[in-house]
Each structure stands twice: as C-alpha cells, then as structure tokens.
Chain A
C-alpha cells in the first residue's frame, strides 16, 4: 500500500517514510493476528448441538500481558517519533536561502529577499505561486497568511505546515532532486480551496544562478548569493 507514496525528495523525507513503514508493519501484523484469531474463534466455537461455552470471567496474567506489550510498543514509537519531529519542526538547520510565503484566498504569494538578502527591502521580488529554490540547500520558508488558515503542503518533501494569520511560522526543507512539484493548500480555506496550488521549482546549482541572474540582472552573481552568507551567519 505504501508504494502509493509520492516520490520523496527531501532530506528528512526518507526518515518519515521509514517510520511510516515501521508503523505499517507493526499495525499490519497486529491486524492479521487479531483477525486470524477472530476468524479462528468464530469457526472453532460456532454453535453446535450439545456444546456449552467455557465458563470463565477472565485471566489476570493475560490482562497484564496485553496491557504491557502494546504500551511498550507505543512508547517506543513515541520516542522514535519525537526525535524526528524535533529535527523537522523544532531544530531547523541554519538557512542557506530564505523566502517568505504568504497565503491568501486563493494563492501563495512568494517573496524573495533579492541580492541584499533582506526581506522587506526595495530589491525584493514577489510573484504568485512559483517558489524557486536551489537543490541541496537548506531553505527556510517564512509562512504567513493574509486571511484564513491555509496549509503549505509539499507532498514530495513530506512537508506540511498551516499558515496562520497574525503570525510567522518558519519551516525548512532541503530538496535533493531538481524538478517541478505541486504545492497544494491542505487546509479548507473557502470556495477556491480546491485548485489553490503553487509550484515548487527546484533548480540545480547552475539553473538557480541563471534564474537569479535573470531576476536581478544588474547584480553580480556573487552578490546574488548574499542571502546565503547572511542567513548562515544569523543561524
């Protein structure tokens, strides 16, 4: 069933998928066990003339076993999850590239800092729905919303984060494969929710530099790299 997962092109994605697989194996095994026992009991203990059910009110040893074993498995899953959760949502590595994404009914407004590496200055560049990033670089996305709650979902990155009006939420990713991928909105945001989508364009290094040059033709490529240094120093 998990072969239906979309392609995985983020650095933390494979770890999420591994956990997904682990839980899949554990729950499938449990399901098979329980269903097999259920069916076996239904066949073995079906009504027959002269049969009388075993008179028992339970068994404390069994109760203890089937309390402790699931508890241990679940606590183990919780601790495995916590480490990855912290790495993805709490302890972001320093940014190579920073970009602001503001959700609004029904577009993603993408704002690039430009050569000075600072958002909110004159050389910022803004466009709707296209998010250009370099491959193999840590990208920080500063998420905002202008109206309702939206959710920034990039299936191939295994990344999802709600964008809330009135706050800034920073998410990060590092894409490992150039290409164009969809960015659907995953939180109901009104009548145009369906179809609210952007495109993540992951460039290889040369392609990214070319894109920067086209966008800011007056600036030398070295300066265009500025956000990388500033953000890294801040990080």
Chain B
C-alpha cells in the first residue's frame, strides 16, 4: 500500500473548503457525491424501466386490447391505444437494456462502488478523482443517448437486449433505423464510463488501503467490487468491439455478421456472451458481498467461512470466462462444444452453493435483528437460491433444448437479477442511507415496502417457471396466437396483476427515500453498531472522509467477540494487551 497516495489524497481533502454549488453537486470529484449521483441516475432509470415492463405485462395478459394511459403515445407505436407488435419488441428490449446497463450497474457498481470503496478501505478518496467524475458524466451522457432513441423515427432498438445479428444488423429486418444505432453508441459510451470506473476501483483498492488493511481484512463487499472491477475491465472492451462491428455493418456496409457477405451471425453471439456471462456476475457479485456484510452485522456474528467466501467469488469470476456457450446450446454451435460448456457451467454452480451454505452458517447461532436491511438481505439469499437452482435446468443441455427461449429463462434471470441484485440494492440503500445522507430511513415504511415487494415479486416471477414448462416462448406479443398456450393464459393474467402490485409496492420506498432525505431523524456515526471503517466516519462523512486515517487491527466481522464486552469490535479499535488477529 502506498503511503504517498494516501498523503496526496489527504492534501486534496485539506484544499477543499467552500466549493461552489456546481463543483459540489454537479461536477464533483468527491467519491461520495459521485456515488449519490449514480444512485439518482439508477433510481430514475429504474422508474422508466419498470414502466416499460408494466406495458409489456399488460400486453401479455390482455393481448391486442386497449392499453390504459397510453393515448399520448403516437402512431405508429400505438394505434388508438392498441400496441404495434414492433413497439412491443422495443418495450421489452429497452426494459432489459435499461435495467441491466442503467439501473443495476450504476447502482451496485457505480453508486456503492464509489461510495463504499474509499470509506471501507479507509482512505480519503478514489485514486483518480477527476477520472471518477468523468466516469459519471460519461455514463450520464450514455443514458441521455439511450433515452433519445425513443424519439427517433422507426422507434427504439427492438432486437432484444441481446441484439442478435442479423436482426439487429440490417435495418429492414427489424424496421428500426437510428434506434438501434443509438443503442450501440450509448453502450459504447457507457463502456468508456465503466472502463474509467473499473481502473479507478482497482487502483484504489490495491494502493490506498489504510495501514493494517490487508487483503484478507477487506469486507466482502470490497472483495466483490474488486473482482467486479476486474471483470468489467476485461469484459466491456469485448462488447465495445462487437458493438463497433455491428455499427460498421449498419452504417459502413461491412458484413461482419452477415453471411451474404461472408460474415457469421454466430460471431455476434460469441462476442456478446463472452461479455454477457461475466456481466451476469458483475450484476450479482456486489449484491453477494453486500448481503454477506449485512447478514453478519444483523446476526451479530462473524461471517461463516470468510476465506471460502472470498475464494468462491474469485472462482466464480475465473469460471465466468468459460461458460458463455451455455447461452448458445441451441444456436447451431457445434454440439460437442455444447457438452464442454455444460460441464463448466455445472462447475460454476459449486461456488454459488458454497456461498449459500456459508450464509446459512452465518445465521446459525446468531442473535438476529430483523431490520429492513436484514430482511432485504435475507430475501436476497432465499431468492438467489431459487435463481441458482433454476439455472441447473438450463445447464443440463437436453432439458435446455425444451426450455431455451421460454419463460423459464425469464423466470431464472428475474430471480437472479431482481430477486438477487435488486433486493441487494434495497438492502444496501436501507443499510448505508444513514451514512450516505446523514439521516435514518423509516423502519415501518421500510417494512411496508419490503413485505409487499417480496410477496408480489414471487407472485410475479415464480409462475413464469410454469409458463416455461408449458412451452411459452419469450418475446412473443400475443400468446393467444398459439393453441397450445391457451390453457396458460390465466397464469399470464395472474402474473400481470402481481407485476402491477409489485410496481405499486415501490411507492412506500419512494416516499420513505425522499421523506427521510429531508426529514428523517439525524443518524449517529454508527447506528447499526457495525465494525467496518465507514462507520467510524461522521454521517455523512465530510470531504476527505476521516479526521485521521484509521489504522486497522483486525478483520471486519468481529461480532460477539469474547475479547470485548459489547457484541461488536470495530476494525480500527486498538485493544490494550490484545494481539491483533488475522481474522
């Protein structure tokens, strides 16, 4: 660890006194403000992505009927409130694109990565504060480009968030012109933002840890963010390259993905999923780290198997590079290759199993407090179990023949990304809100948000497994066009009603968030009696975070330690006569 870097950052902090409004709230180089900016970007986009999903659900439950509240949407997207199938394709494409690239990544990686890394490793800011500011603003530009696609002739991208060529490659195939181009450009720009962020995270974690903060004293959230930064650094450029090729095909007349000109459609899928599978872990690993930390805090118990947890995340990250082909079993890829991808995919389930059992081990013998962050972390664990187990069906190639491209896959991805990542996001927001904004969120409203969300989530996504088993294809606009899907239609109606309930269940969260932001009770420095370093800084921490850089004597999970009377023992508390322990 570099003392020089710490000293520089400290200098920067002392230089800060009264910043103008613009330098403080807009073009801020403070990692905490940038974290908050990413949070607001992500929450804003979540509303848009959620509303798109509501329209998709309406169409599936009551196909080709009038969609309420849509009279303002012009032709040719809606005809007299009836949805055009091409517009339907745009809706689910943009729902997924926004949720993956502009909600889960900005919040879990952008917001919590920025906010937590310097605070949890005990330093004053990121290694490259200006690069950090650029990372947010480049990301915001990507968001504006992405949203602008809704307003161009031909509508927004409609080839699915996976944008398989040649459908995405030739405007006449999809009927979409600049929508798809802007989609590509936006994600290329977002890739630049993510690259700047990941370099910053890696450099900061490697070089700027507080004295005594060894790698194996890092909280698992930081381990997860560190691993994710490495995945981002290596995966995003592959997507950027593929998107560049797609743009060239569309605009410059090349034929990378077009067989008519000697190109190969499967090349797109290989490049996309070579990025796409690490991406899935980019979405879930931070939530795993966050859930581990929160479970330990509220079980008042050390995390069970700290090293096993860290190593299982490392092995997930390593294996994530050799499993991409499991998205392509039915794509026409050589079936022998399919078998090798099946085996690597089965193997990657093992570290996830290890993590689940360790979470159970953490709860065993605890002294469990059911706070809102804890409830959301527990929801993360139980929903991730379902999402993980349903993955085994797809890994088994013969079963995948049937369930590939059905609602079984849709159920699986939502158990992982909503049940996993989004409950992780809620847990993290409830947990770190006091540190972020200096005020407590309301526990009662938190529970009024949690329980309906948890129930409506399961009512929405669990029945999708049944649709999948019944053979219901993904991405169809009207299930009633198929005789064999008629018996499943009542399930579609049930899912849609549950999805609306799930949407409404977010209202208490929005109220709680904004009410607490301005009128919540002032938060103490360490309201949860947690061990990690961010809780030794004031709430909210000032520019520069710590008065004096803390020295770390032990790991982050010393809860209920016999060495002290209280049931927590902060990482930086020096115990007289006690030997600092490695754990």
Contact = CB atoms under 8 A, between A and B. Distances in A.
Interface of A: 1-2, 4-6, 15-16, 19-20, 23, 26-27, 30-31, 34-35, 37-38, 41-42, 45-48, 51-59, 62-63, 66-67, 70-71, 74-75, 77-78, 80-82, 84-86, 88-90, 105, 147-149, 151, 153, 155-156, 158-167, 169, 181-182, 184-195, 197
Contact of B339 (A63, A85, A181): A85
Interface in B337-367: 338-339, 342-343, 346-347, 349-350, 353-354, 356-358, 360-361, 363-367
Given A41-B366, A58-B358, 4 more contacts: A70-B353, A78-B395, A151-B330, A188-B167
A6 B346 contact: no
B16 interface: no
Given A20-B393, A54-B560, A55-B562, A35 B382 contact: yes
B174 A162 contact: no
A187 B396 CA distance: 20
B232 to A, nearest CB: 27
B342 to A, nearest CB: 6
B469 interface: yes
B342 A82 contact: yes
A165 B357 contact: no
Interface of B: 84-86, 88-89, 158-160, 164, 166-167, 173-175, 258-260, 264-266, 299-308, 330-332, 335-336, 338-339, 342-343, 346-347, 349-350, 353-354, 356-358, 360-361, 363-370, 378, 381-382, 385-386, 389-390, 392-393, 395-399, 401-402, 404-406, 465-466, 469-471, 473-478, 481-484, 488, 557, 559-562, 567, 583
23 contacts: A19-B399, A20-B393, A31-B385, A38-B363, A42-B378, A45-B366, A52-B367, A57-B302, A58-B361, A63-B308, A67-B350, A88-B398, A89-B397, A148-B173, A160-B405, A166-B265, A186-B405, A186-B474, A190-B89, A193-B89, A194-B477, A194-B481, A195-B481
Contacts of A164: 259, 265-266, 331-332
Contacts of B360: 34, 37-38, 41
A202 to B, nearest CB: 15
A23 B86 CA distance: 37
List of 4 A-B pairs having minimum Cβ-Cβ separation, nearest first: A166-B259, A54-B365, A155-B471, A194-B477
B167 A189 contact: yes
Contacts of A67: 350, 353-354
A48 B84 CA distance: 58
Contacts of B259: 164-167
B402 A155 contact: yes
Contacts of B397: 81-82, 84-85, 89
A194 B402 CA distance: 18
A161 B378 contact: no
Contacts of A42: 363, 368, 370, 378
Contacts of B304: 56-59
A144 to B, nearest CB: 11
Contacts of A26: 392
Given A38-B381, A85-B338, A149-B164, A160 B401 contact: yes
A136 B405 CA distance: 28
A228 B470 CA distance: 34
B85 A184 contact: no
Contacts of B365: 45, 53-54, 56
A82 B360 CA distance: 33
Given A23-B392, A47-B369, A188-B89, A89 B353 contact: no
Contacts of A62: 305, 357, 361
B96 to A, nearest CB: 12
Contact of A74 (B330, B349, B488): B349
A234 to B, nearest CB: 21
B354 A63 contact: yes
A51 B265 CA distance: 62
A53 B473 contact: no
Contacts of A163: 332
Contact of A160 (B258, B369, B402): B402
A81 B394 CA distance: 11
Contacts of B405: 151, 153, 160, 186-187
Nearest to B406: A186
Contacts of B560: 52-55
Nearest to A155: B471
B349 A6 contact: no
A186 B472 CA distance: 9
B367 A53 contact: yes
B82 to A, nearest CB: 14
B368 A46 contact: yes
A53 B174 contact: no
Contact of A70 (B343, B350, B393, B406): B350
Nearest to B328: A162
Contacts of B398: 15-16, 19, 81, 84-85, 88
A159 B381 contact: no
Contact of A191 (B158, B349, B583): B158
A66 B389 contact: no
B366 A56 contact: no
A162 B335 contact: no
A54 B366 contact: yes
A66 B332 contact: no
B302 A182 contact: no
Contacts of B85: 191-194
A155 to B, nearest CB: 4
B167 A148 contact: yes
A124 B50 CA distance: 51
B554 to A, nearest CB: 11
A45 B299 CA distance: 8
Which among B308, B402, B478 has the highest number of chain A CB atoms within 10 Å?
B402
Nearest to A168: B332
Nearest to B307: A58
A38 B299 CA distance: 12
Contact of B350 (A23, A74, A147): A74
Given A4-B469, A57-B304, A86-B339, A27 B367 contact: no
B443 to A, nearest CB: 14
Nearest to B469: A4
A55 B301 contact: yes
A184 B265 CA distance: 21
Contacts of B557: 57
Contacts of B364: 41, 45, 54
Contacts of A1: 465-466, 469
Contacts of B350: 67, 70-71, 74
Contacts of A75: 343, 346-347
Nearest to A48: B367
B301 A54 contact: yes
B470 A70 contact: no
A59 B364 CA distance: 12
Nearest to B331: A162
A6 B471 contact: yes
A53 B336 contact: no
